[in-house]
Amino acid sequence: MNARIVLLPGDGIGPEVVAEARKVLEATAARSGHTFEFETHLIGGIAIDETGDPLPASTLAACRDANAILLGAVGGPKWSDPAAKTRPEAGLLAIRKELGLFANLRPITAWDELVEASPLRPEIVAGVDILFVRELTGGIYFGESGTEDDGATAYSVMRYTTAEIERIVRVAGEAARRRRGKVTSVDKANVLEVSRLWRTVAGRVMEAEFPDVEYEVVLVDAMAMHLLSRPGDFDVVVTGNLFGDILTDEGSMLPGSLGLLPSAALGDGGPGLYEPIHGSAPDIAGTDTANPLATILAAAMALRHSLGLEDEAAAIEAAVTGVLAAGHRTADIARGGPSIGTTAMGDAVVAAL
Ligand code: IPM
Ligand code: MG
């Protein structure tokens, strides 16, 4: 096949990790006979610097035309002044919204090879395999917000419609059928009206459309605890935008590093957007120490979900497991032991392929 892949390296370590993922995709093309055409565009802080806009129209147009989009990271201290009119993060939120990417799949797998990299005890993390389904284009990220009293008061509204809840819960239910058949919906229904609607709608969809799938609800504060005390009990976890953002950073400690977790943002047709769940890590940018595996695994998700190349995706995932089994570690998962750099890790994955 011939696929167009837009690369959005962004800020901080973004360009470094995207470069490694590109190498892995090129190696995949070479061994499979597919052709991947790459185009690189601006997003985030670098786009603000060069065009004044965190999501330039030319970037959005290229993304609409692509088969898949691979993003590095956006943000950094240079653009973090609370008084700044435009922030890099606005570019990421805008592309998610513009492309209708409402379903964010964030798999959390604890590799046997890495059990010692987790701050949690091996018997707790062994075998963990959770798929977070985070709603990505609604909730408090996109509700009304503003300031009053000359800026002395500020508000951000969490709003969900029935249709938004239904469609994300369906994604979770369908994913559970392909996995271990269980959905956990996370909300704060004991306090928030918006969560009471979430719980009512989610329960109705699960009962009516997924009677074969085991279903439970958990409050978000309790989930923060259960995720560390009994992560092995969860299969698919569906939740809103903000709770999903927070719980998946927490969940990254199960495998042991934020540098290991990929994500896919999908809509109804159209290109998907694939990115590591980590940020731009400005403190280590340019030092060849970032872990590229999250982005490499995001590239594998792109092959699976947007290009239909399941075998090629699985081959990349197997290569990553192989390099971990062979003992290759970037600093974030080395626990103070010997480590290799970003580029060497990318090379190791290519060699394993
Ligand atoms: C994520 C990130 C983003 C989010 C930021 C960079 C806007 O934290 O993808 O998890 O909050 O969604
Ligand atoms: Mg986040």
The 3-state DSSP class for residue 149 equals: helix
Non-local CB neighbours of 259 within 8 Å, separated by 6+ positions: 276, 278, 290, 291, 293, 294, 330, 332, 333
8 Å CB contact between 95 and 60: yes
Please report whether residue 297 resides in a domain.
Answer: yes
Is 309 found in the same domain as 332? yes
Q: In what order do the strands lie in the sheet with 182-187?
A: 35-40, 2-10, 68-73, 272-276, 262-266, 103-109, 129-135, 236-239, 182-187, 214-219
Q: What atom in ligand 1 is closest to the CA of residue 275?
A: 9
Are 221 and 318 in the same domain? no
109 touches 74 (CB < 8 A): no
Residue after which a domain boundary falls, among 207, 226, 253: 253
Residue 196 domain flag: yes
Q: What is the pLDDT of residues 106-134, one digit of tens each?
A: 999 999 989 888 999 999 999 999 999 99
Is residue 115 included in any domain, yes or no? no
Regarding the beta carbon of 272 and ligand 1, being less than 6 Å apart is answered no
Q: Which tens digit of pLDDT belongs to each residue from 268-300? A: 999 999 999 999 999 999 999 999 999 999 999
- In this structure, the answer to whether residues 135 and 237 fall within a common structural domain is yes
173 and 138 fall within a common domain: yes
User: Does residue 239 lie within any of the structural domains?
Assistant: yes
The answer to the question of residue 113 being in a domain is no
Percentage of the chain beyond pLDDT 90 is: 95
Tell me: pLDDT of 88 over 90.
yes
**Is 245 an active-site residue?**
yes
302 in Cβ contact with 70 (< 8 Å): yes
230 and 179 co-located in one domain: yes
| Contact call for residues 173 and 190 (beta carbons, < 8 A) | no
Structural domain of 236: 129-253
118 located within any domain = no
Residues 134 and 247 in one domain: yes
- Rounded to whole angstroms, what are the CA distances from 218 to 25, 70, 163, 353? 39, 33, 21, 40
Has 23 been annotated as catalytic? no
Residue 142 tokens read as: 């996109």
300 plus 329 within the same structural domain:
yes
Closest CA to 244 of 179, 296, 157, 184: 184
pLDDT of 13 over the 90 cut: yes
- pLDDT tens digits, 317-332: 999 999 999 999 999 9
Model confidence pLDDT, tens digit, residues 220-249: 999 999 999 999 999 999 999 999 999 999
Is 53 in the same domain as 84? Answer: yes
Helix (H) / strand (E) element for 8: namely strand 2-10
Q: Does ligand 1 come within 6 angstroms of the Cβ of 164? A: no
Q: Give the number of domains in the chain.
A: 2
Is the pTM here over 0.85, yes or no?
yes
Q: Is the pLDDT of residue 84 over 90?
A: no
Is 78 an annotated catalytic residue?
no
Nearest to 348 by CA among 275, 285, 292, 273: 292
Residues, CB within 5 angstroms of ligand 2 (ion):
245
Q: Specify whether 3 is located in the same domain as 37.
A: yes
Task: Confirm if 235 and 178 have CB atoms less than 8 A apart.
Answer: no
261 Cβ closer than 6 Å to some ligand 1 atom: no
Distance CA 274, CA 285 (A): 20
**How far does residue 76's CA lie from ligand 2's centre (Å)?**
14
Left (φ > 0), alpha (ψ -120 to 50) or beta: where does 84 sit? Answer: beta
Among residues 190, 225, 253, which one ends one of the domains?
253
Which of the listed residues 253, 271, 286 is the one where a domain comes to its end? 253
For 144-194, write each residue's pLDDT tens digit: 999 999 999 999 999 999 999 999 999 999 999 999 999 999 999 999 999
In CATH, what number is assigned to the domain containing residue 43?
3.40.718.10
Query: Is 122 inside any structural domain?
Result: no
Nearest CA to ligand 1 atom 6: 89
Q: 76 in a domain, yes or no? A: yes
- Band of pLDDT at residue 85, cut at 50, 70 and 90: confident
Task: Answer yes or no: 249 catalytic.
Answer: yes
Q: Please pick, among 11, 245, 332, 347, the residue that the annotation labels catalytic.
A: 245
Q: Do residues 74 and 181 both lie within one domain?
A: no
263 pLDDT higher than 90: yes
Pocket-testing residue among 13, 74, 79, 89, ligand 1, by greatest number of atoms within 8 A of Cβ: 89
